[in-house]
Chain A
Amino acid sequence: MTHGGQAAAAATEAYPRIVAALIRITGDWTLAEDCAQEALALALERRPADGVPDKPGAWLMTVARNRALDVLRRASVERRKLRELAVLALTAATELEPQEEVVDDRLRLVFTCCHPALALEARVALTLRTICAVSTVDIARAFLTSESTMTRRLTRAKTKIAEARIPYRVPTGPALTERLPGVLAVLYLLFTHGYNADGEPAFAEEAIRLARLLARLMPGQPEASALLLLQHSRRAARRDADGNLVTLDKQDRPRWDHAAIAEALTILADLPDSGPYALQARIAACHASATSPEDTDWPRIADCYDKLVRVQPSPVIELNRAVAHGYAYRPAAGLALLAQARAGGALDDYPLAIAAEAQLTARDGDRERAAELFRLAAEQAHSESERRALLERAAENR
């Protein structure tokens, strides 16, 4: 790994821990994020001659902590003095070494980010921003909205946390039962971000790790981890040697993680077809248990999407439902549902909606029109690998 690569990897790993620790100590989200980001920027500016510190995480923590101290020293308000004392007590070594302590800090942060007193989208955005250090631009893209809207939403959420004093802790008792589904919703979206075209695969790993941790904390709600396990089981087959995305139908199925699939299928065996995670996990299980694309139980998948769109209506789920129907029954049926899903306009900037139309059109036999649509989708692709994959599909249909 290059010097830059090592520094970047250490930064991604350390960021949420630093933010979590500084928030816990200072109670100031903006200060924590600013200082963590400045530490990362400094780390990435270091010349190769400076070498990589032995413990990059601890080094970053020290830089961020010193930066926080600087800021607090300059602000002479009395209440800040108290926080300054707390930060002084925080040493890099004690903060980063014991794993349990660190995990606990991040889990607390997850529950704060996912507090029901915040709007749902704000919860997801805040988790992505704070726990995963995803850029505001990328979060805005995932929500099909503009960067300025997303910035406002994040600022509003952080202001509310501070001013309404949303606590920084994992709830206990009945409150935990009530809060958990909300946290799972956020974790799933976080996972999706890691799983998407040019997402950071580490986020998917992070989501699974947090989901397992939550499952241990709160047994009896395993469907979310089943879903994540199934999606993640395909990680080795999702990209070719050049890093290009490989669509599900072309993946080398023996390369899937069959131990993870078995673990998920065992979890699912005892669960009813209700709730958004169980349904999505069931859909993923249909794909995971098919030995070839032709072997896929599409009517079962279409049925799950019918149920899913009722419990969790969204334009993207309607889009997937249309594709499932097109594969299960006739392509024309899928195209009709697709037109319905796009009628509201929410999918206008979503290239995968055009790609879905192209896919169903190809299945309907009109290859020329399909190629044209794939090219159109490629023009609107949000990432380079997505664009390449769509152009390849266009070429296949010529």
Chain B
Amino acid sequence: MKYMMFVCTDPEPDTDTENEPDIDVWVAENDAAGRRLQGMVLAPRSTATTVRVRNGQTLVSDGPFAETKEVIVGFDLLECADLDEAIEVARTHPMARGGRIEVRPLADFEQ
């Protein structure tokens, strides 16, 4: 089962900074276990461009599509047995403390 993990910022990060997990250890462990298939960090939000086509016209505008305080800063594609395993992977990511993580399964069109 594939899950997409969106790594986001959060206006209220955890104040407890003891024993913060190391991102390099997290990547190495999950890559080795075959749970992390891919993952990237995005360039800052200021570099985002939104594209729409309406009535044949291409509309290009500056900025991300959602004007929220939370910004997607990266993603990881996971392969997990079930949601509990995906939650565990997300829980141990440093940004679960520094921000927030959305875990969402990829759509399964065979079902």
Asked whether A166 lies within 8 Å of B110 as measured between CB atoms, the reply is: no
13 contacts between A and B (CB under 8 A): A77-B110, A163-B107, A163-B108, A164-B104, A164-B105, A165-B82, A165-B105, A166-B82, A166-B84, A167-B81, A167-B84, A171-B84, A175-B84
Interchain nearest-CB distance for A224 vs B (Å): 23
Give the number of residues in B that approach A within 8 Å (Cβ atoms). 12
A115 to B83, CA, bound (A): 10
Q: Which of B81, B87, B105 is in CB contact (< 8 Å) with A163?
A: B105
A218 contacts B by Cβ under 8 Å: no
A167 to B105, CA, bound (A): 13
Chain A residue, CB-CB nearest to B1: A165
List residues of A whose CB falls within 8 A of some B CB.
77, 79, 115, 117, 162-167, 171, 175
Asked whether B110 lies within 8 Å of A165 as measured between CB atoms, the reply is: no
List residues of B whose CB falls within 8 A of some A CB.
1, 81-84, 87, 104-105, 107-108, 110-111
Number of A-B contacts (CB under 8 A): 28
Chain B contact residues: helix, strand, loop or mixed: loop
Q: Which of B83, B107, B108, B111 is in CB contact (< 8 Å) with A167?
A: B83
Asked whether B84 lies within 8 Å of A164 as measured between CB atoms, the reply is: no
A164 to B102, CA, bound (A): 12
Q: Which of B81, B83, B108, B111 is in CB contact (< 8 Å) with A117?
A: B83
Q: Which of A77, A79, A163 has most B Cβ within 10 Å? A: A163
Chain B residue, CB-CB nearest to A168: B82
Q: Which of A115, A117, A164, A175 has most B Cβ within 10 Å? A: A164
Cβ of B82: which chain A residues have Cβ within 8 Å of it? 165-167
Interchain nearest-CB distance for A154 vs B (Å): 19
